[in-house]
């Protein structure tokens, strides 16, 4: 029987759908914009798949919304090792939970959150000089570290199936700088992580020359009467530059007929700006291959369902990632998106890549 400790950051990812690019010091603003917790659903999805694995699990968790509620909802009877003292949980609660898991001798620590939560978990283990493996269930806006499963379902499968571990990087970025358009990752810690095909790579910054690609995409956009939802990232930002708009490099902008209808938009603003025909332009994240579910949660399942999808990327980026991935939080939509996807790699050229 494998002993698994679960800790949930209940506010992780709240800023994504409303365009905040993170929740650090932005919880109240996220709530004001109508954000709802995302992590509990991600935790339950992972736990439901964990429960269905052949190997039995003894689950340890932290109280209330930090794991107990989600565990019970998924059908577990967990051992609760402690509880937060206040309704508003903090990083200190996450670190306390990790210490309790180590005391209990768990075989794996599962955590739900983003890079900030990964840092809290990994730094706590480093301080204890402990090498308990960790695995992230992606629930935050920023997921740059190579300690996360590619989806919650994958985390549930990996938790009992892994038989080897390796040391991987935990990275984080300054959210304030990120909101301003600067992406600078910093190595925060090293952690022991299960080895598996469904553990994601760290995000690679930079993607090669895209000027001719951007110019071609922009030219077609100008001649079209559709509403364009332009995603984040350097490749699509080059398209925005070619269009001559003051876009948001790491946000989502909506464009139609030469006008920016919404800049750095959250889900609600994007929905309001949609027209009769809509096209989402996204580029896969370097090193990972995600086209939805990492850094662009504003482009929610209802928006995707109402839109055509145009994926753009340099040939170098595609050769580095090999496959495309989606993690929208809607399993049915994810399944419908899987299969072969045409990716625009040049002025006229397209390349087929599989969404897995």
Both 27 and 118 in one domain: the answer is yes
Residue 148's pLDDT is what? 94
* Dihedrals phi, psi of 158, to nearest 5 degrees: -65, -35
Domain containing 280: what range? 211-355
Same domain, 169 and 20: yes
Q: Is 148 part of any domain? A: yes
Looking at the fold, whether 218 and 126 belong to one and the same domain comes out as no
Q: Which residues of the chain have pLDDT under 50?
A: 15-16, 18-22, 26-27, 29-32, 35, 205-208
The CATH number of residue 10's host domain is 3.40.50.10330
For tokens 């989600």, name the residue.
70
Are 61 and 80 in contact by the 8 Å Cβ rule? The answer is: yes
- Give, rounded to a whole angstrom, the gap between the first and last alpha carbons of the chain: 30
If asked whether residues 339 and 300 sit together in one domain, one would say yes
pLDDT of residue 244: 92
Please, which residues have CB within 8 angstroms of residue 294's CB and are 6 or more apart in sequence? 138, 143, 203, 285, 288, 327
Co-location of 33 and 143 in the same domain = yes
Could you tell me if 281 and 236 lie in one domain?
yes
For the chain, what is the largest distance between any 2 Cα atoms, rounded to a whole number of angstroms? 63
Residue 238 lies in a domain: yes
User: Is there a domain that residue 69 lies in?
Assistant: yes
Q: Is residue 201 part of a domain?
A: no
Q: How far is CA 78 from the centre of its chain?
A: 27
If asked whether residues 150 and 233 sit together in one domain, one would say: no
Contacts of 208 (CB under 8 A, 6+ apart): 314, 315, 316, 317
Position 171 scores a pLDDT of 84
For residue 201, give the nearest of 193, 209, 189 by alpha carbon. 193
Report pLDDT for 38.
78
Determine phi and psi for 173, rounding to 5 degrees.
-130, 165
- Residue 67 CB-density burial (10 A; 0-12 exposed, 13-18 middle, 19+ buried): buried
Contact between 43 and 69 (Cβ < 8 Å): no
User: pTM (2 decimals)?
Assistant: 0.66
Q: Scanning the structure block, which residue is given the tokens 């080897």?
A: 164
Task: Specify the pLDDT at position 21.
Answer: 46
On whether both 40 and 177 belong to a single domain, the answer is yes
Q: Quote the pLDDT of residue 13.
A: 57
CA dihedral 16, 115, 326, 217 (to 10 degrees): 70
Q: What is the pLDDT of residue 346?
A: 81
Q: Which of 194, 222, 252 is the last residue of a domain?
A: 194
What pLDDT does residue 318 have?
85
How many domains, in total, are found in the chain? 2
């Amino acid at each position: 029987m494998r002993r698994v400790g679960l800790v949930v950051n209940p506010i992780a990812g709240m800023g994504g759908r409303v365009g905040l690019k993170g929740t650090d010091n932005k919880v109240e603003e996220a709530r004001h914009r109508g954000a709802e917790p995302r992590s509990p659903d991600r935790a339950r999805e992972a736990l439901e798949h964990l429960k269905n694995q052949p190997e039995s699990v003894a689950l340890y968790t932290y109280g209330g919304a930090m794991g107990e509620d989600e565990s019970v909802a998924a059908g577990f009877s967990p051992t609760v090792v402690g509880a937060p003292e206040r309704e508003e949980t903090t990083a200190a609660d996450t670190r306390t939970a990790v210490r309790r898991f180590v005391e209990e001798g768990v075989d794996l620590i599962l955590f739900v959150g983003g890079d900030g939560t990964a840092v809290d978990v990994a730094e706590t283990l480093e301080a204890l000089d402990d090498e308990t493996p960790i695995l992230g269930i992606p629930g935050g806006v920023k997921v740059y570290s190579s300690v996360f499963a590619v989806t919650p379902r994958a985390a549930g499968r990996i938790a009992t199936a892994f038989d080897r571990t390796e040391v991987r990087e935990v990275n984080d970025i300054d959210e304030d700088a990120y909101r301003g358009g600067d992406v600078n990752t910093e190595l925060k810690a090293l952690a022991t992580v299960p080895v598996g095909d469904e553990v994601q790579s760290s995000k690679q910054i930079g993607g090669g020359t895209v000027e001719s690609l951007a110019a071609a995409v922009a030219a077609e956009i100008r001649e079209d009467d559709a509403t364009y939802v332009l995603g984040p990232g350097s490749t699509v930002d080059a398209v925005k530059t070619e269009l001559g708009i003051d876009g948001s490099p790491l946000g989502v902008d909506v464009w139609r007929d030469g006008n920016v209808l919404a800049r750095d938009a959250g889900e609600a603003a994007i929905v309001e700006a949609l027209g009769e025909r809509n096209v989402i332009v996204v580029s896969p994240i370097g090193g990972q291959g995600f086209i939805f579910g990492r850094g662009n949660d504003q482009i929610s399942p209802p928006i995707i369902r109402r839109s055509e999808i145009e994926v753009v990327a340099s040939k170098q980026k595609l050769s580095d990632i090999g496959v495309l991935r989606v993690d929208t939080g809607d399993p049915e939509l994810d399944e419908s998106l899987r299969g072969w996807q045409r990716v625009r790699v040049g002025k006229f050229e397209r390349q087929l890549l599989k969404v897995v």
